[in-house]
Amino acid sequence: MGSSLVSEKKTALVTGASRGIGNATAAALAAAGYDLILTGYSHPDKLETIAHDLEKRYSRKVTTHVGDVSDPVFIKEMFSSMDHLDLLVNNAGISYVGLLQDMSDEDWNRTMGVNLNSIFYTCREAIPVFLRNDTDPAGRIINISSVWGIVGAATEAAYSASKGAVNAFTKALAKELAPSRIPVNAIACGFIDTEMNGHLSEEEKQAVIAEIPADRIGLPSEVADAVVLAASAPAYMTGQIITVDGGWI
């Protein structure tokens, strides 16, 4: 991705940037010319290493915030020091794999908190910042979702429910913000090579790959490239759930 995609200085916020899709997205946006604001929670040292590497490699300004995105206080404090933003990428997410009957209240609430509530918190704070921009579009929101939010997955009812809600939230907010020149889209990921799928055995992975027309697992960098493309798409493209799944679903 070349910096020509960004003609003027722009800033992007990426949540959950310390690994996987978030890490790859941060790198792709830095390569495209964005300054970055990155959040992480479980791997603060890795987040700082990523930030330092991106600053050195792409000569971009990278700011980090360590905290729980499901905590509205953390989100509000982060935005209180933010004077400019052009792109919000809601990537932070967790998964729970297991029978619904065995799931605790805490696990359900945690899944919803990170995967869904955090998007409400960040969007609520980002919108006023976007509206200060004298640009068209005024800002963009890209939510990282999942194909399970479209078709559902056995033993992942909570995750599927949270991502289905993200898709509906994306479509509704896109309609709400269209008059304000703020496109809102989501990228529904298929089977991607991330730690979230680390619980699968090699045999289980091969069984899933056999169902994918592209005949392979997807790469975090491919999702990141889709984010950059969506970030440079015509502003008239809004409310879309863009599936990146190798033709699987």
Residue 30 within any structural domain of the chain: yes
Phi/psi for 243 (5° steps) reads -90, 130
In a 3-state reduction of DSSP, which class is residue 38? strand
Domain CATH number, residue 47: 3.40.50.720
Confidence at residue 124, expressed as pLDDT on a 0 to 100 scale = 98
DSSP string computed for 126-186:
HHHHHTT--SSSS-EEEEEEETHHHH--TT-HHHHHHHHHHHHHHHHHHHHHGGGT--EEE
Q: What is the mean pLDDT of the chain?
A: 96
34-40/140-146 β-pairing: unpaired
Mean pLDDT of 22-49: 97
In a 3-state reduction of DSSP, which class is residue 56? helix
Residue 82 within any structural domain of the chain: yes
Tokens of 173: 């907010």
- Is pLDDT above 50 for 2? no
Confidence at residue 210, expressed as pLDDT on a 0 to 100 scale = 97
> Model confidence over 177-206: pLDDT tens digits?
999 999 999 999 999 999 888 788 999 999
Confidence at residue 154, expressed as pLDDT on a 0 to 100 scale = 96
Residue 249 within any structural domain of the chain: no
Confidence at residue 4, expressed as pLDDT on a 0 to 100 scale = 41
CA 94 to chain CA centroid, Å, is 12
Q: What pTM was estimated for this model as a whole?
A: 0.95
Q: What is the 3-state secondary structure (H, E, C) of 78-92?
A: HHHCCCCCCEEEECC
Residue 214 within any structural domain of the chain: yes
Give CA–CA dist 28/26, Å, rounded.
Answer: 6
Give CA–CA dist 110/213, Å, rounded.
Answer: 34
> Model confidence over 54-96: pLDDT tens digits?
999 999 999 999 999 999 999 999 999 999 999 999 999 999 9
Tokens of 227: 């984010």
Q: Are 36 and 61 in contact (CB under 8 A)?
A: yes
> What is the number of domains present in the chain?
1
Grade residue 3 by pLDDT with cuts at 50, 70 and 90: very low
Q: Is 152 left (phi over 0), alpha (psi -120 to 50) or beta?
A: left
Residue 120 within any structural domain of the chain: yes
- Is pLDDT above 50 for 138? yes
Residue 180 within any structural domain of the chain: yes
Mean pLDDT of 207-229: 98
The one catalytic residue in 34, 58, 159, 236 is 159
Residue 77 within any structural domain of the chain: yes
Give CA–CA dist 163/25, Å, rounded.
Answer: 19
> Model confidence over 87-131: pLDDT tens digits?
999 999 999 999 999 999 999 999 999 999 999 999 999 999 999
> Model confidence over 224-239: pLDDT tens digits?
999 999 999 999 999 9
Give CA–CA dist 18/49, Å, rounded.
Answer: 9
Residue 74 domain boundaries: 3-244
Confidence at residue 198, expressed as pLDDT on a 0 to 100 scale = 79
Residue 186 within any structural domain of the chain: yes
- Is pLDDT above 70 for 7? no
Q: Give yes or no: 34 in active site.
A: no
Burial of 179 (0-12, 13-18, 19+ CB in 10 A): exposed
